[in-house]
Structure 1
Amino acid sequence: MHLILAEVAGGLSVLNGLVIMVLLNLLLVLFLRRLNQSYSIAYILCGILVGPHGLKVLTNADLIRELGELGVILLMFFIGTEIRLPIERRQVGLPLFGMVTQLLLCGVAVAVVGNVLNWTVSVKWLMTFILSLSSSAIIYPYLTQHNEQTTALGQLTTGILLMQDVAAIPMLVTLRLLGQDQLAWPELASIGLGVGLTAVLIREISRRPQLKLPAADLIRNDHDLQVFVGMLLCFGMAWITNWLGLSTALGAFMAGIIINRSGSTRWLERSLLPFRVFFLALFFVAVGLQINLAFLRENGWLIGLLVLIILLVNSLLNMLVFRALGVSWRDSVYAGALLSQLGEFSIVLGLTAYQLGLIDNYLYHITLSVVALSMLLTTVWIEIIRGFLFRTRTASPERGQSTEMHERENSG
């Protein structure tokens, strides 16, 4: 009897936490929407408020960890469903050059700082990866909100974000290799097989204009089966890549890409849309749940300084990248601000490195706090740069499109 009561009480505790979490999410989203802020910011704030270091609504450490791992898998899956792998080389050239240049510049900056701070080679690789990735979840909605997604600058920016998302695959594999001090031959062969299969799969997906899922016609009008097909692909491929010694996030990401390129994309995306909204929110809530407010207070000056440095340095590096791509100075400064923050893949890489033992608990929480705070402040930072750049600009035919870019498109 006591056991039954305990289970009921535990269930009610989780239910109470979910109700409060959803209510807070709703209130924060409504508030931040009036301020034209990204919903992901509301989700992170909600996680901080309901977590063990806030209102203590959700305090179960195992539950929080499992929510975070589940959120990572589903985040990668739904990002994969949005990936539009280019087929023609002309669609890849400039964004790929921009992403690689940005990665190299970040690597040089990290090498200089890492030598001063005596970082290990593994930490240098990790920090290079983390600093080179921006937030698609924040920037895509921001560009859409300001009618910039179809401009030349907006298309180039989203192209670089796409290349960053794809680059996360070899980054995860590299961390997995760095996290193994001494790999036995079976483990090395398993990882090599996983990498090879992933490369072949990406090549085949890129070469084919469309993929068709087996028995797609049989489940086209069956909503329940559509959901289970999508979830089976997501968790099934995550399990396979984990079994091969790679990351579960990698498998989920590849499953999302397959869904996107399949002939069943339209009906499957409609069926999974509610899950996408909820589980993407869950990922950011899980990030907020792991942020330790006491840790933030104790290390606030360091975290704040790091966030400021990252916003400034990333803005500068990305400005140079866009300038090298032939974009005007003013548009380059604006694009640098757009890509100045760290992104959701940075969190995934930090968590992976922590699980592999590449970084300790202190450095993990520093990384988590800096990434989350940069995401929280990114729209404020962009608006500051935007206001400075365009304060003397007269109204243009399309809001958010700089004068130089607009004139260049008209002349073309």
Structure 2
Amino acid sequence: MAIDLLLNALIFLAAAVLIVPIFKRLGLGEVLGYLAAGVVIGPSTLALVADAEAVLQFSQVGIVFLLFVIGLELKPSRLRVMRKAVFGFGSLQVAVTTTLLSLAAWWLGLSPAAALVVGFSLGLCSTPLVLQLLGERKELQTRHGRNAFALLLFQDLAAIPVLAIIPMLAADALLADGVMPLLEGVLIAVGAFLGLIIGGRYLLRPLFHYAAATRSREVFAGTVLLVVIGAALLMELAGLSMALGAFIAGVLLADSKYRHNIEADIEPFRGLLLGLFFMAVGMTADIRLIAEKPLVVLGLTLGLVLLKALAMLVAARVHGTGWKDGLNLGVLLSQGGEFGFVLLSAAATAALLNQSLVSLLILVISLSMATTPLLFQLHVHGIRRLFARRRTKRAYDTLPDDAPQIIIAGFGRFGQIMGRALQGLKIPYTVLDINADQVEVVRRYGNQVYFGDASRIDLLKAAGADRARVLVVAVGDPEASMRIVGQVRRQFPHLQLYARARNRHHAHLLMRAGITHIVRELLPASLELTRDALIGLGIPREQAQHTIDTFRPHDEQALLRQLEVFGNEKQQIQTIHEAARELEALYEADEDIATRVEEIPRWQR
């Protein structure tokens, strides 16, 4: 038994290690790689792992951990803000999608009850797939990312009562059993739901406080697993969703001071089990049906993807969402989901659908999940670029003739602070920013900002670069910054250039271009915070400031020495080590600094 378990683990790991990197390198994403790996080792292909259903059941724990982490990131106050998106937009999207798919199923010959179950089951989307795709592109906090999460959350909530109703839809089931079993199930579910919320509110924080007090990472990680699995199991026993229980537990801990520790401990389990889930989905797909009924399978898959994308777009437009976000959501939510497997299997058990139809629909759902990463990649590199081109067709603003003495290129957080200071001194300045959205936002606050590319010679002339005295390059992107510097150095050599450096490498590039007035954006704030931390350790303010004043010129000298070996990584590393040793010697030689540091109690150092 132990040997079989280890052998299966080895097969899963080998398949993931060999196949997933290939898909990532091709730009297709991890999810499609896991699905393909599952197909390869599944019973329909190499049959290296036989019991795909058991693996799928176990891998549902990955979704549990995913929903727990999502709950951790959602404070109750934020959930209240999202209620319109979750229940308003979510109910609209589910209604439109279920109606279209149910009508299609009825048209294809299913009974009204069976068509409704199929329509709703196929209308659900894959929460882990969509969130994984959004996470890979860091789009979870975008507008379409937040809307996608709200819709997925509502779908998971809506699937729970449907799962309870399916047995009642079978022939004469309700007449035979009456309404009492249904009412009993509802009461148990509500009791478990309230028990988890109330119990979690008063027990979870003391529990984690006790675990943290042991100062054992293993005990703390074990407590996290206990809470996640316990909450999921409670909901499962009550007839609800395991994922819902984990999500509620996460929300209850979102305001906890232990949130970041919990998230760090749970992350490895989440990643591994999610990968296992996607492989299990690939394993359960009966690929042989593609060879037996290729036109039926591919036709149903194409129809499902197109109908769901269309329904999503219609719901988004009715809800008032723009075309761009509507298309994003249409592509992201065009697949079937893991809850579809559960609902269709329940319908087969209740004799509402025959097993051959359920096997066909499960394959269609699996194939639709496999199309989503591909479609999303095509959408990102195709449709989105069309929208981006349409936005950049906007004509650059016409700048005033009375050119001021200062031009600021880039008006993000860095440039705005400078602008506020100049405005307070009543010194006029012109701002150029390439981000049209940023320009509109800043203008609403009363700032004079013009939309334009500061690397274009004609726009610089229109801004008065030939008459201005100072150009401040406050652009955050090093590549754009160097492009502006290059153009200005060639065309307007009289201009004094002051530049923002994003990091040491960017500073070296600016120095090589001949710029002498450079500010590394994080250096002043970092030194200021270091000074305050030293004061917090008991060092007098004057001495702490002296320490920072000693560090700054040493760092500038080190930066110049590193510039001399720019491009030679080996010598760069050697220079960094030498600078660190020199700084230690410099502090040790300064009696005031050395004395004050020695006075700090050792437990604080």
Amino acid of the structure 2 residue aligned with 1:107: T
Q: Map residues 5-404 of structure 1 onto 2, 5 A cutoff.
A: 11-59=2-50, 61=51, 64-83=52-71, 84=74, 87=77, 89-175=80-166, 177-178=168-169, 182-183=176-177, 187-198=181-192, 200=194, 212-220=204-212, 221-244=215-238, 246-247=239-240, 250-262=241-253, 263=256, 264-392=258-386
Q: What is the distance in 1 between the residues matched to 2:69 and 2:184?
A: 27
Q: Which moved more, 1:195-204 or 1:280-289?
A: 195-204
Task: Please say if residues 38 and 278 of structure 2, whose CA atoms lie closer than 8 Å, have aligned partners that are also in contact.
Answer: yes
Could you tell me which residue of structure 1 aligns to residue 597 of structure 2? none
1:195 CA drift (Å): 2.6
Task: Please say if residues 81 and 258 of structure 1, whose CA atoms lie closer than 8 Å, have aligned partners that are also in contact.
Answer: no
Percentage of pairs with the same residue: 22
Amino acid of the structure 1 residue aligned with 2:194: V
Ranges in structure 1 where 5+ consecutive residues have no aligned partner: 1-9, 399-405
Task: Please say if residues 234 and 252 of structure 1, whose CA atoms lie closer than 8 Å, have aligned partners that are also in contact.
Answer: no
Q: What is the distance in 1 between the residues matched to 2:104 and 2:69?
A: 36
Q: Which moved more, 1:47-56 or 1:35-44?
A: 35-44
Q: What is the distance in 2 between the residues matched to 1:196 and 1:132?
A: 25
Deviations 1:338-364 (A, max 9, x none): 221222333333344445544332122
SS at match of 2:140: coil
SS at match of 2:141: coil
Could you tell me which residue of structure 1 aligns to residue 559 of structure 2? none
Amino acid of the structure 2 residue aligned with 1:82: I
Deviations 1:130-158 (A, max 9, x none): 23322232333433444543333333333
1:238 CA drift (Å): 4.8
Q: What is the distance in 2 between the residues matched to 1:274 and 1:372?
A: 25
Q: Which moved more, 1:307-316 or 1:73-82?
A: 73-82
Deviations 1:360-403 (A, max 9, x none): 321221122111111111122233344553454556999xxxxx
Task: Please say if residues 211 and 261 of structure 1, whose CA atoms lie closer than 8 Å, have aligned partners that are also in contact.
Answer: no
Amino acid of the structure 1 residue aligned with 2:18: L
Deviations 1:172-222 (A, max 9, x none): 33346547654377744541222322553687699x7x9834422121243
Q: Which moved more, 1:197-206 or 1:334-343?
A: 197-206
User: What is the number of residues matched between the two proteins?
Assistant: 388
**Structure 1 residues 285 and 322, CA gap change in structure 2 (3 angstroms):** same
SS at match of 1:29: helix
Amino acid of the structure 2 residue aligned with 1:26: V
Task: Please say if residues 66 and 128 of structure 2, whose CA atoms lie closer than 8 Å, have aligned partners that are also in contact.
Answer: no
**Structure 1 residues 175 and 298, CA gap change in structure 2 (3 angstroms):** same
Scaled by the length of structure 2, the TM-score of the pair is 0.57
Q: Which moved more, 1:252-261 or 1:96-105?
A: 252-261
Amino acid of the structure 2 residue aligned with 1:255: A
Highest RCO, 1 vs 2 (Cα 8 Å, sep ≥ 6)? 1
Q: Which structure's residues are more often strand, by fraction?
A: 2
Q: What is the distance in 2 between the residues matched to 1:78 and 1:168?
A: 18
Q: What is the distance in 2 between the residues matched to 1:239 and 1:65?
A: 19
Task: Please say if residues 28 and 373 of structure 2, whose CA atoms lie closer than 8 Å, have aligned partners that are also in contact.
Answer: yes
**Structure 1 residues 171 and 21, CA gap change in structure 2 (3 angstroms):** same
SS at match of 1:216: helix
1:44 CA drift (Å): 1.9
Deviations 1:76-99 (A, max 9, x none): 353244133753644221343222
Q: What is the distance in 2 between the residues matched to 1:222 and 1:397?
A: 54
**Structure 1 residues 82 and 111, CA gap change in structure 2 (3 angstroms):** same
Task: Please say if residues 93 and 151 of structure 2, whose CA atoms lie closer than 8 Å, have aligned partners that are also in contact.
Answer: no
CA RMSD of aligned residues (A): 3.4
Task: Please say if residues 317 and 326 of structure 2, whose CA atoms lie closer than 8 Å, have aligned partners that are also in contact.
Answer: yes
Q: Which moved more, 1:367-376 or 1:36-45?
A: 36-45
Select the structure of larger CA radius of gyration: 2
1:318 CA drift (Å): 0.8
Q: What is the distance in 2 between the residues matched to 1:185 and 1:332?
A: 41
Ranges in structure 2 where 5+ consecutive residues have no aligned partner: 393-434, 442-605
**Structure 1 residues 94 and 343, CA gap change in structure 2 (3 angstroms):** same
Q: What is the distance in 1 between the residues matched to 2:153 and 2:390?
A: 28
**Structure 1 residues 201 and 126, CA gap change in structure 2 (3 angstroms):** farther
**Structure 1 residues 308 and 362, CA gap change in structure 2 (3 angstroms):** same
SS at match of 1:215: helix
Could you tell me which residue of structure 1 aligns to residue 483 of structure 2? none
Q: What is the distance in 1 between the residues matched to 2:247 and 2:216?
A: 20
Q: What is the distance in 2 between the residues matched to 1:287 and 1:219?
A: 36
Q: What is the distance in 2 between the residues matched to 1:155 and 1:170?
A: 24
1:110 CA drift (Å): 3.2
Q: What is the distance in 1 between the residues matched to 2:39 and 2:298?
A: 17
Q: What is the distance in 2 between the residues matched to 1:407 and 1:175?
A: 51
SS at match of 2:204: coil
Q: What is the distance in 1 between the residues matched to 2:326 and 2:362?
A: 28
Task: Please say if residues 68 and 228 of structure 2, whose CA atoms lie closer than 8 Å, have aligned partners that are also in contact.
Answer: no
Amino acid of the structure 2 residue aligned with 1:269: E
Q: What is the distance in 1 between the residues matched to 2:195 and 2:267?
A: 25
Q: Which moved more, 1:178-187 or 1:37-46?
A: 178-187
1:254 CA drift (Å): 0.8
Q: Which structure's residues are more often helix, by fraction?
A: 1
